[in-house]
Amino acid sequence: MNSDSRLLKDLFNSFKPDMPLEPGDTRYVDCNSVRGDEDVTRELGGYITKDENNTYQLYSGHRGGGKSTELKRLRKYLEDSGCVVVYFAAATEDAGDLSFQDTQYQDILLSCTRQLLEKLKDRADSSPIQNWLRDRWKELIDLALTEVSLDKLDLSVALSQLAKITAAVRTEPNKRREIRKLVEPNTESLVQALNEFIRNAKSTNNRIVIIADNLDRIVQTQPEEGAPTNLEDIFINRSELMRGLDCHIVYTAPISLLYSTSSSELQNIYGKIQILPMVMVQSQDGSVWESGMKKLRIALEKRVSYVEERELVPQIFDTEKTVQLLCFSCGGHLRDLMHIARDAVNQTTQLPIPEKAVKRAITKFRRGYMEALRESEWALLLKVHETKQRLNEDAYRNLLNKRCILEYCFFDDDDERISWYDVHPLIRGSKLFKERWANYQTANHES
């Protein structure tokens, strides 16, 4: 393997898109100034460290926009401030406690139970949770979730049983339904047991914080027309349980829910809603936003220097034009940036990476967005591109949820937060969009 091949392989892995960065990672880039000037440590952390009562906050944004990396920064900030933090990714592609496709509030409560017990087992008496399990031991045996005799129930067994329960919730639909039937009439007693456990832990530290990440990946379902969706049931109808634990909690939530007509109700329940917007790569008039593009260029530089000290241009990419094309095409969405860069590396056998490889990577990645569009949504896309705004309707929220339209924000000269929207550059760069945009302009001009 020659030196270029080795470096390309290392770059391919350094551009890994689904890997949140840990606090202190040299690849991290502070993008707050180009996405609304809102720091998660101040906006969420400030409330936690200052409020004498428990806080229950929601955090959202486009999937892949960097929420997990920011929440890991929040965890470090809170730990440095003396808090005990229980951070967990409630669901990932191949692990976690929840099923993306089918999640209800009982599942989240069980996940919090397991994570709290695991994190705080050396800080507090776990008997309240052990007793809760003990009282339901026969049901667990009937569900084939345990073969352990009741007299052997101790902390290690309790953790093992909770792990089996949450694993079944994630992977076995039939058992998932039965576990929910078991938990449903016993949620109040489980919350009481958890709070007793938490209060025991507070004897050594009075600020315990749960950060439940990846709940924004829950797929919205609706049992029947006119009924509340599962998201509304979890975050609104069951909010007393979601706010029932005697500690601070940060929940991630799907962006589609926070932009729905339930927004004011959610704000009434959880306080101000924190949403992480995209890195601004353009202004509302379509011109390049240089400060945002610079941040994305730095992100690429840091991924390169992480594996080897090389100049981004011309040693890794052939020209600045190629780098600018790569950065602009992602629309300020960091995961898309890494996906496209990674595929461009894969297209390349010898450095520097040429513009042709980036263009081909863009074309291939564009397909996912184009296939996600329904014919009925094209008129909405064109309207958003024209006005840089969206209407508060389900169809627009669906486009936002699919990242076909992206949100940007900044503070104007009067310190007012301005949010605006545009079609993802990958869609705008397609021949089909350009044709439809030209026809749209012609039709509007003639009318």
**In order of start, what are the domains of the chain with their CATH numbers?**
1-36+278-447 (no CATH), 39-276 (3.40.50.300)
- Give the pLDDT confidence score for residue 125 in this predicted structure: 87
- Give the pLDDT confidence score for residue 203 in this predicted structure: 75
- Give the pLDDT confidence score for residue 56 in this predicted structure: 96
- Give the pLDDT confidence score for residue 355 in this predicted structure: 97
397-405 contact pairs (CB < 8 A, 24+):
397/256, 397/259, 397/260, 398/256, 400/62, 400/255, 400/256, 400/259, 401/254, 401/255, 401/256, 402/369, 402/372, 403/62, 403/63, 403/64, 403/333, 403/369, 404/369, 404/372, 404/373, 404/377, 405/381
- Give the pLDDT confidence score for residue 256 in this predicted structure: 84
- pTM value is 0.91
- Give the pLDDT confidence score for residue 93 in this predicted structure: 63
* Residues in the chain with pLDDT values less than 50: none
